[in-house]
A and B are shown apart, each in its own frame.
Chain A
Amino acid sequence: MAHQAHAYHMVDPSPWPLTGAVSALLMTSGLAIWMHFHSTTLMSLGLVLLLLTMYQWWRDIIREGTFQGHHTPPVQKGLRYGMILFITSEVFFFLGFFWAFYHSSLAPTPELGGCWPPTGITTLNPFEVPLLNTAVLLASGVTVTWAHHSIMEGQRKQALQSLALTILLGFYFTALQAMEYYEAPFTIADGVYGSTFFVATGFHGLHVIIGSTFLTVCLLRQMLHHFTSEHHFGFEAAAWYWHFVDVVWLFLYISIYWWGS
């Protein structure tokens, strides 16, 4: 172990920040190549490199924290700040799309028929599948809290069950939403209604998938006994993210599905 007089973690040199930056370069330039020359090779290469970077970087963090004990109290505090700041940045990301929605829907232009929903748009009934989706995500918020308490109380079986249930509910939401997308009477190309609807709910769906993946990693780690009843920040970060996803959905439901219908 390094000889230091402080409790912080001086990280060993790592190639993953470089591979991450390279993958960002390949994905962005690959996107341009795809748009102009119809080839997806460069972008796909960037995507593969991104996935490899994420897997190996986060694997190394797990090794440093769980197996080597580098995540002392001040280090954990820093990780908490980091996750909170990241989620805050995501809040601002969604704020932009809500701004776009309200900009267009509060003062609908003559091209839309001066009304919202615009003329010709058949909106989805907010009390059908969207309401079920709301119930599913709220229930998953309960099960993830159940999982947290199970971990804190040292109950392994309950922790595994409630965490698995949370993930299943997440998949159920994604499946229902995918079906809704397929069956919707309007598309992303249907004016500003279509744009705001699919971009906002689409990014939300992506975040549900990200959150479900994070929770799945936590489930695997819990199965492998990584978490202790006092120290399980990876799980807490996943739970925070999952609650954030839930709250965004509630805003989406109230604004776009209900008020906007």
Chain B
Amino acid sequence: MAARLLLRSGLRAVTTCRAVRAPALSRSMAAGGIPTDEEQATGLEKVIMKAMKEGKDPYSMMKPKSYAGSKSDPHLVPSITNKRVVGCICEEDNTAIIWFWLHEGEPQRCPSCGAHYKLVPHNLPH
């Protein structure tokens, strides 16, 4: 019985058009019977999924963007309050991290390497 099932499924698999590289949007409940995240995701998972599709990262899942750290191109530090702790790794592979509070307003400089940091107030993502 298993062999017949396997053969039948194999035949179906070979003959049906399985567009494996097609975007998930083309598959729906009606097509194969298993929903996609697009159809069924909910809550925070759905919010993040939608944001990621637009190229946004409201929940800071990705690495922060790279800036030069100069006066004209300071590191932009998002914050949901008016201050945030910054840890500066002045040179690559440095093991001593320079920690300091970054306050709202004028950009501050790292006490060790002088890189510029500016706090950018954000609203809490909902």
Could you tell me which A residues sit within 8 Å of B by CB distance? 1, 3-7, 67-74, 146, 151, 153-159, 161-162, 165, 225, 227-231
Determine if B124 is an interface residue (Cβ-Cβ < 8 Å): yes
B124 in complex: contacting residue of A3, A71, A154, CB < 8 Å: A3
Chain A residues within an 8 Å CB radius of B47: 69
Interface of A, secondary structure class, is: loop
B37 in complex: contacting residue of A5, A161, A231, CB < 8 Å: A231
Known: A165-B2, A229-B36. A154 touches B27 (CB 8 A): yes
Known: A3-B126, A228-B37. A72 touches B45 (CB 8 A): yes
User: A1 to B44, Cβ gap below 8 A?
Assistant: yes
Number of A-B residue pairs having CB atoms within 8 Å of each other in the complex: 92
Chain B: residues with Cβ within 8 Å of the partner, total of 33
> In the assembly, what is the distance between CA of A159 and CA of B47, in Å?
28
Could you tell me which B residues sit within 8 Å of A by CB distance? 2, 5, 9, 12-13, 18, 20, 24, 27, 31-37, 39-48, 59-61, 80, 124-126
User: A153 to B32, Cβ gap below 8 A?
Assistant: yes
Chain A residues within an 8 Å CB radius of B44: 1, 7, 69-70, 72
User: B61 to A69, Cβ gap below 8 A?
Assistant: no
Q: Measured between C-beta atoms, what is the minimum distance from B66 to chain A in Å? A: 21
Which 10 pairs across A and B sit closest by C-beta, in order of nearness?
Answer: A69-B43, A156-B33, A154-B32, A69-B42, A69-B45, A7-B59, A154-B34, A154-B27, A230-B37, A155-B32
A5 in complex: contacting residue of B34, B40, B42, B60, CB < 8 Å: B60
Chain A residues within an 8 Å CB radius of B32: 153-156, 229
User: A69 to B46, Cβ gap below 8 A?
Assistant: yes
B36 in complex: contacting residue of A4, A67, A228, CB < 8 Å: A228
Q: Measured between C-beta atoms, what is the minimum distance from B20 to chain A in Å? A: 7
